[in-house]
């Protein structure tokens, strides 16, 4: 059964959703801890946390939020945003993250990310591959790198990369359906990697479609926050996992 991972994006200590990665198009949804407790209470076992302030600042900003959520024994936390140095990576793990999501450094300093993979392993480090106009987007989706997604994955293949969260930014927060063709192509090209579908998921039907394709994980954000899918519907996947 597919693993459905609810997303909590954070700005100024509050839960927020952006449209197409645009910081000026944001909607706030309350306290991240309250959200995490609601997800855990309905059966979720993993939560996707993104420090959007940290992504802009190039250093984690909202680690106090992570510390609170990490105390919920039911949830494993994957945390991204602002991990640009070994010190930042350590601070995220020290704050309680089970998994660290690294994006910009992988594109800008691939040797460093390869070193981190060698040190921490693919079970702890997650590549956050955000795609915009077929290129990797970095620094909180504000800039584009020169390489494509396939080149990035190929670079880290020999270093044991296992977990990849690939987000099509053009679909993120737009409720237009996930980029199915991209994910199935990538899974076929890199079968040893586990791809998490991210961006565009509209409802339970979209999750079922992704599940039918055999993809292991999907991140759910705006569809939940705007009421297109309920905790009761999500518990179907969480409680039967």
Catalytic residue numbers, as ranges: 9, 130
Strands 3-11 and 14-19 come out as: antiparallel
Per-residue tokens: 197? 């579908």
Classified as helix, coil or strand, 219 is strand
Distance CA 204, CA 210 (A): 10
Q: Are 40 and 88 in contact (CB under 8 A)?
A: no
Helix, strand, coil percent content, the chain, rounded in steps of 5 = 40, 30, 35
The distance between the two most distant Cα atoms of the chain, rounded to a whole number of Å, is 44
End-to-end CA distance of the chain: 6
Residue 64 burial class via C-beta count within 10 angstroms: exposed 0-12, middle 13-18, buried 19 and up: exposed
Q: List residues bridging with 102 in a β-sheet.
A: 127
Per-residue tokens: 213? 């394709």
> 105 to each of 50, 126, 138, how far by Cα in Å?
16, 12, 9
């Amino acid at each position: 059964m597919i693993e459905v991972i609810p997303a909590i994006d954070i700005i100024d200590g509050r839960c927020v959703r952006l449209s197409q990665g645009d910081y000026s198009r944001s909607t706030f949804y309350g306290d991240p801890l309250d959200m995490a407790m609601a997800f855990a209470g309905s059966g979720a076992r993993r939560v996707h946390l993104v420090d959007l302030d940290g992504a802009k600042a190039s250093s984690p900003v909202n680690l106090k939020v992570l510390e609170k959520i990490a105390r919920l024994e039911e949830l494993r936390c994957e945390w991204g945003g602002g991990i640009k140095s070994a010190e930042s990576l350590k601070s995220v793990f020290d704050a309680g993250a089970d998994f660290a999501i690294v994006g910009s450094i992988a594109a800008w300093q691939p040797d460093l990310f390869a070193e981190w993979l060698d040190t921490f392993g693919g079970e702890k480090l997650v590549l956050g591959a955000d795609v915009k106009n077929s290129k990797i987007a970095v620094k909180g989706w504000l800039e584009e790198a020169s390489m494509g997604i396939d080149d990035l994955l190929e670079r880290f293949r020999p270093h044991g990369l296992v977990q990849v969260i690939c987000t099509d930014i053009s679909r993120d927060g737009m409720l237009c359906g996930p980029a199915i063709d991209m994910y199935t192509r990538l899974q076929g090209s890199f079968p040893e990697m586990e791809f998490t579908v991210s961006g565009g998921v509209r409802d339970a039907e979209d999750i079922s479609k992704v599940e039918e394709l055999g993809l292991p994980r999907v991140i759910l954000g705006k569809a939940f926050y705007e009421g297109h899918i309920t905790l009761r519907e999500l518990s179907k996947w969480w409680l039967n996992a």
